[in-house]
Amino acid sequence: MLLEFKMENYKSFLEKVTFSMVAAPKQSGLDYSLLKEKVKGKLVKGLSSSVIYGPNAAGKTNIIGAIDVLRAIIIRGNIRNSEERNSPNAAAALELIPNNSLTKARPVKFSISFIEKKMQIEYELSMNLGKFLEEECCREIREERLSVNGEDIFTRSENLTIGNLKGIENYLSDITNQNKENVMGIAKNSLNKDELFLTNGFKLIFSQKLVKLIVDWFTDKCMVIYRADTIQLIKRFADPKKKAVYVERTTNQAAELFGINSNAVGYVVSDDEPEAKLYSIFKNTENEKNTAIVSEIFESYGTIRFINMFPLVIKAIMTGGTLIVDEFDASIHPMALMSIINIFHNDDINIHHAQLIFNTHNPIFLNSNLFRRDEIKFVERDDEDHYSTLYSLASFGTTGEKGVRKHEDYMGKYFISQYGAIKDIDFTPIFEQLLGDEREV
């Protein structure tokens, strides 16, 4: 369960901001959507969902991209660029990360806190990536810290410090248990300026089991769909060694409810294309043979996007994963979206504490009966310095001129700019000038 994500000097976010999935204090209503976990006897209340609002180019996608970048760095274990340079992954080219207005290099910082296996894990990373578009910069990890249940496990800066390991003694390697005094020298020699100590030296010397738990969370449970137009399947649905057509029953049932133009949808794997590809399947009643057509040329974009995304919803609910989606509502009917949101809010179904985080322009989610105030976030970008800020509806409080009261009309107040994060856009002058120029000719 994700608790907090912090970032600094990531694209439009120059100063440190905190994206929190911890329930704000003194919030009442919609308690059914809270996720409650006990960590060392302390009750932690997390949010099952969060929706992010803001105008175009405000920085909504940058929040999702930043999480995707940290995820990719931890999985590959270094701050070098991805080998897939044409990949839509946000971490494909790290020189695009620093704020583009800076004339002097400033560290890029990330911090994440989550609960896994009854442990609260916090990881911090500070790195020098140079200035914006500085590809030849000598990249360097400046600081790195790992803590479990509030106890520092290691801190890496100019020096390497190993903290109290008693809280993770069941995860320690045999060499650490037997030679605690001798491993520090080995650990310091393992440091590399562009490689994480977490997934290299600490993993090899201290705790392969703990690092595996952390990396597995990022790999399997932190599911980030960065940019709405690049959604991809996260798993193969058939054996790539032989030709096959695989119709997943649950996904197909959901697709039928959503609305498809064919009899069924399935994933086809062939020798020529080992990756699963979505096909629309038609039943021929005369010869009882099926015909398969590539869904991209038959089904609507909304249908394809829904079918690709729904397995991720299933995986999140079944494993307690955190699903983070750019433009969750793109080309998908609001009734289908509402149903998915209600699944995450349903205590009887969301028993593994799954979470859904998404950004949107659709105002229908600004509803006090659907989302708590601390679940509604806003991103605003200053017109002068172009830096983004992040805040929640709960930050307005409940009293005063701008206080947000229970069962208030969130949508109406948003459109009159009560909460900010909205722009008054009028294209009329552009067309008036074009018509004026035409008359002069």
191-212 residue pLDDT tens: 899 999 999 999 998 999 999 9
Rounded Cα gap, residues 245 and 237, in angstroms = 9
Q: What is the DSSP string of 107-163?
A: -EEEEEEEEETTEEEEEEEEEE--STT-TT---EEEEEEEEETTEEEEEESSSEEE-
For residue 32, the model assigns a pLDDT of 72
3-state secondary structure of 176: helix
- pLDDT category of residue 35 using cuts at 50, 70 and 90: very high
In single-letter form, the type of residue at position 412 comes to G
**Cα distance between residue 324 and residue 322, in whole Å:** 6
Residue 60 vs residue 270, higher pLDDT: 60
- Is residue 228 pLDDT above 90, yes or no? no
- Residues 406-431 have a mean pLDDT of 83
pTM of the predicted structure, to 2 decimals: 0.86
Which pLDDT does position 397 carry in this prediction?
A: 74
Structural contact between residues 101 and 115, judged by C-beta atoms closer than 8 angstroms: no
Residue-wise pLDDT for 344-396, tens only, equals 999 999 999 999 999 998 889 998 888 999 999 999 999 888 999 999 998 88
Give the span between the Cα atoms of 284 and 349, in whole angstroms: 38
Query: pLDDT value at position 241?
Result: 44
297-332: pLDDT as tens digits: 677 777 777 777 888 888 899 999 999 999 888 777
pLDDT digits (tens, 9 = 90+) for 60-113: 999 999 999 999 999 999 999 877 655 556 677 899 999 999 999 999 999 999
Q: Which residues pair with 281 in a beta bridge?
A: 264, 292
Q: Residue 195 has what pLDDT? A: 94
Confidence of residue 240 (pLDDT cuts 50, 70, 90): very low
User: Which residues is 265 bridged to in the sheet?
Assistant: 280
Which residues partner with 411 through β-bridges? Answer: none
Express each pLDDT in 150-160 by its tens digit: 999 999 998 99
Q: Are strands 290-294 and 322-325 parallel, antiparallel or unpaired?
A: unpaired
Give the chain's mean pLDDT. 84
